[in-house]
């Protein structure tokens, strides 16, 4: 069953379909580390939409929509779709902060886009202008958030139970460990070459970590080494210090205004 079939079952997601400008896969699938027969890999999807007119011109408040949807594959197995939709305003504000997840949507392989309009193409065409040295803080910050969660159970619930199982089995959350090292490596690459390499060349290493083949200390030692490389890359980076707020604000306005001009044309 495709993502679009899943989304069609959700009234809110279905109602926003005509407003989507960009929709694509994210997470382990695009990084090349998805494993079909595991309990800790979901299908992750991210979308960007222009809010309905009542939210742009009126008092509506649609902004960020998150869903966890179970697709029943058989009597004993389900696939979980982890879905997040951002209004274009929210998405652009996260780009200004160099959020690793929202940046990645602009750099995935074209085959992983589910839906893309010319407004989505416009966003992708400007991706080089949407990078700055502030990615050092966002990528390292997200990475060390993963480091904390590696050994802390946190909230209960579906994801909490899966994390409890990993920590119980391996002594730490191997999925978070994989994210930790991937984020550090990606941050170094962005600072050095000004591009996000989404499909990971070190996928075999990341998969080995997700399977619990690395002891915790080995993960921590490599993370410490990569953090040092990231500091060096930050100091030498040719990227601008910050993304230009005025440029991003105008780009956002052009998309929203242009979208609604086309609606009435």
CA atoms within 13 A on the CB side of 190: 31
> Do 30 and 105 form a contact (C-beta atoms < 8 A)?
no
Query: For 100-124, what is each residue's pLDDT tens digit?
Result: 999 999 999 999 999 999 999 999 9
Query: Which position has the token pair 């970590």?
Result: 209
The sheet that has 20-26: what strands, in order across it?
64-72, 78-87, 43-49, 20-26, 113-116
Walking along the chain (265 residues) 10 residues at a time, the average pLDDT comes out as 77 89 94 73 88 81 81 68 93 96 97 96 97 95 75 56 74 88 96 96 95 93 95 97 97 96 82
> Do 48 and 127 form a contact (C-beta atoms < 8 A)?
no
State which H helix or E strand residue 47 sits in: strand 43-49
> Do 226 and 49 form a contact (C-beta atoms < 8 A)?
no
pLDDT score for 37:
60
Q: Are strands 20-26 and 64-72 parallel, antiparallel or unpaired?
A: unpaired
pLDDT score for 1:
56
Rounded to two decimals, the pTM is 0.89
Strand, coil or helix: 92: helix
pLDDT score for 3:
79
pLDDT score for 237:
97
pLDDT score for 225:
96
Q: Which residues sit opposite 116 in a β-bridge? A: 22
pLDDT score for 163:
67
Angle between helices 118-125 and 245-264 (to 10 degrees): 170
CA gap 71, 81 in Å, rounded: 7
CA gap 157, 159 in Å, rounded: 6
Query: For 51-81, what is each residue's pLDDT tens digit?
Result: 988 877 877 777 888 888 877 766 556 778 8
């Amino acid at each position: 069953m495709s993502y679009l079939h899943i989304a069609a079952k959700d009234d809110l997601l279905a109602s926003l379909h005509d407003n989507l400008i960009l929709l694509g896969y994210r997470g382990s699938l695009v990084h090349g580390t998805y494993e079909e027969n595991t309990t800790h890999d979901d299908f992750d999807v991210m979308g960007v939409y222009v809010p309905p007119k009542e939210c742009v011109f009126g008092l509506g408040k649609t902004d960020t929509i998150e869903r966890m949807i179970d697709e029943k594959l058989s009597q004993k197995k389900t696939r979980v779709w982890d879905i997040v939709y951002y209004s274009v305003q929210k998405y652009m504000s996260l780009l200004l902060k160099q959020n690793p997840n929202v940046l990645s949507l602009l750099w995935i392989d074209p085959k992983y886009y589910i839906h893309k309009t010319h407004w989505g193409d416009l966003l992708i065409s400007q991706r080089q202008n949407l990078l700055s040295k502030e990615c050092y803080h966002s990528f390292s910050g997200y990475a060390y958030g993963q480091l904390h969660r590696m050994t802390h159970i946190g909230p209960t619930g579906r994801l909490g139970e899966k994390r409890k199982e990993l920590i119980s089995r391996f002594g730490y959350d191997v999925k978070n460990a994989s994210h930790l090292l991937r984020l550090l490596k990606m941050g170094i690459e962005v600072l050095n070459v000004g591009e996000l390499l989404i499909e990971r060349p070190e996928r075999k290493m990341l998969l080995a970590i997700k399977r619990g083949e690395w002891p915790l200390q080995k993960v921590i030692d490599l993370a410490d080494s990569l953090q040092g490389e990231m500091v060096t890359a930050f100091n030498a980076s040719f990227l601008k210090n910050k993304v230009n707020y005025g440029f991003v604000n105008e780009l956002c306005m052009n998309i929203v205004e242009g979208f609604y001009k086309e609606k009435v044309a």
